[in-house]
Amino acid sequence: MIEIKNLVKRYGDHNAVDHLSFTVEDGQVFGFLGPNGAGKSTTMNIMTGYLAATSGEVLIDGHNILEEPEAAKQCIGYLPELPPLYPDMTVGEYLRFAAELKRIPKGEQADQLQKALSLTHLEEMEPRLIRNLSKGYRQRVGLAQAILGFPKIIILDEPTVGLDPKQVVEIRELIRHLAKDHTVILSSHILSEIRAVCDHVLIIRKGTFVVSDTPEALEEKLSAAGELEMEIRGTAQQAEALLETVAGITGHTVLEESSGLARLSIKTDRDIRETLFYAFADAKCPILELKPRMATLEEVFLDLTDDDDLIAAKAAALLTGRQDETQEEEGSCDESHL
């Protein structure tokens, strides 16, 4: 288990990581999602002990990374953003060096090496100089280094960057395979990738915590705060009168009205599609189209990564389901500006 408590990393007067706290349970595939510069790599570098935090604590299986660095690092395999490779070594030499660094017992080294090579499909590359490998292969050598010895926790910083689509699929397969008996933490700025493999997502923005949940739960939250879009044959007045009779509608707007057709957007607090259908059917007012207008996770994520803090705050509120609070906060912000 990994516990991150109130992590702060300050560079000058800029906080790269700002009071970040979260917990990664054993056996999870934990995804770090955030736009470039959100503090993903910095957080990972702190978790692995490469950087030290300005304040806050990192506990790896109960070992503080600063106080018991060796015990904590023993549990971690890490692939940084740029694979830390020595170009003057062959793949085999490099991995044997990494195995010794990780204190894998001599007797197991050959066996572990073969496992790591076969999982990353590098068997034929073993005698090749790393200098001569392509970007994709270098990434895989880095990955092989991270999983070598199969530590309990495997931390991968943007593992699929620079790979072709087939290799991306292979790496995802590998992550799923590892997830069976390891904790895997990976970072990405691509939502679909996180959704494909992770069972828990942490979204961070500008170094601060936005939301942490399962991808499914996040999508559910979004659809709960949904909207319906409806097209009917009739006038807008007719439709508005009918909508009055249906319970569960919190508001509506006319989007468009032309040549006997009207298009409306309806805000609801529950699923009213059936009652809506019968209400309009009874009034002999045909519904031509009825569709949910929920923001997709993609859209919300796009907003989250927006430079504008207001847009991002709204998107964050959608995800956390604390719309009212944030609006109040915004209000107080405005006042303070005055």
Partner 1 sequence: MKAIYKREVSSYFNSMTGWIFIAAMTAFIGIYFMVYNLFSGYPYFSSALGSTLYVLMVLIPILTMRSMAEDRRSKTDQLLLTAPVPVAGIVLGKYFAMLTVFAVPMAISALCPLIIKINGTAFLKADYATLLAFFLLGAVEIAVGLFISSLTESQIIASVGTFGLLLVLYLWDGLLTYLPASPSGSLIGLMVILLLVCFLINALSDNWKITGAVLVIGLAVLAVSYLKASAKFVSLLPNVLGKFSLLAAFNSFAQDHVFDLSGTLLYLSLIALLVFLTVQVIQKRRWN
Residues that bind partner 1 (CB under 8 A): 45, 48-52, 54, 69-71, 73-74, 76, 78, 80, 82, 84-89, 93, 97-98, 100-103, 145
Place of tokens 């950087």: 51
In the bound complex, what is the minimum distance in angstroms from residue 293's beta carbon to partner 1?
46
CA dihedral 127, 133, 135, 140 (to 10 degrees): 0
CA dist 24 and 76 (Å) reads 13
The DSSP output letter for 9 is E
In the bound complex, what is the minimum distance in angstroms from residue 7's beta carbon to partner 1?
14
Looking at the Cβ atoms of 54 and 326, the one nearer to partner 1 is 54
Which residue, among 185, 218, 176, has the nearest Cα to 43 in the 3D structure? 185
In the bound complex, what is the minimum distance in angstroms from residue 50's beta carbon to partner 1?
5
The DSSP output letter for 132 is G
In the bound complex, what is the minimum distance in angstroms from residue 142's beta carbon to partner 1?
9
Looking at the Cβ atoms of 86 and 277, the one nearer to partner 1 is 86
In the bound complex, what is the minimum distance in angstroms from residue 139's beta carbon to partner 1?
14
In the bound complex, what is the minimum distance in angstroms from residue 30's beta carbon to partner 1?
18
Other Cβ atoms within 10 Å of 221 Cβ, number: 17
The residues facing 205 across adjacent strands are 208
Looking at the Cβ atoms of 94 and 301, the one nearer to partner 1 is 94
In the bound complex, what is the minimum distance in angstroms from residue 14's beta carbon to partner 1?
13
- Is residue 190 classed exposed, middle or buried when 0-12, 13-18 and 19+ CB atoms within 10 A define those classes? middle
Looking at the Cβ atoms of 89 and 254, the one nearer to partner 1 is 89
The residues facing 2 across adjacent strands are 24, 60
Looking at the Cβ atoms of 178 and 318, the one nearer to partner 1 is 178
Looking at the Cβ atoms of 69 and 136, the one nearer to partner 1 is 69
Helix residue ranges per DSSP H, the chain: 40-47, 69-74, 91-101, 106-119, 135-147, 165-179, 191-197, 215-224, 236-244, 273-282, 297-304, 309-320, 323-337
Q: Give the pairing type, strands 76-79 and 153-157.
A: parallel
Looking at the Cβ atoms of 83 and 215, the one nearer to partner 1 is 83
In the bound complex, what is the minimum distance in angstroms from residue 130's beta carbon to partner 1?
11
Please provide residue 313's backbone torsions phi and psi, each rounded to the nearest 5 degrees: -65, -40
| Amino acid sitting at position 96 | R
Looking at the Cβ atoms of 49 and 321, the one nearer to partner 1 is 49
CA dist 184 and 26 (Å) reads 9
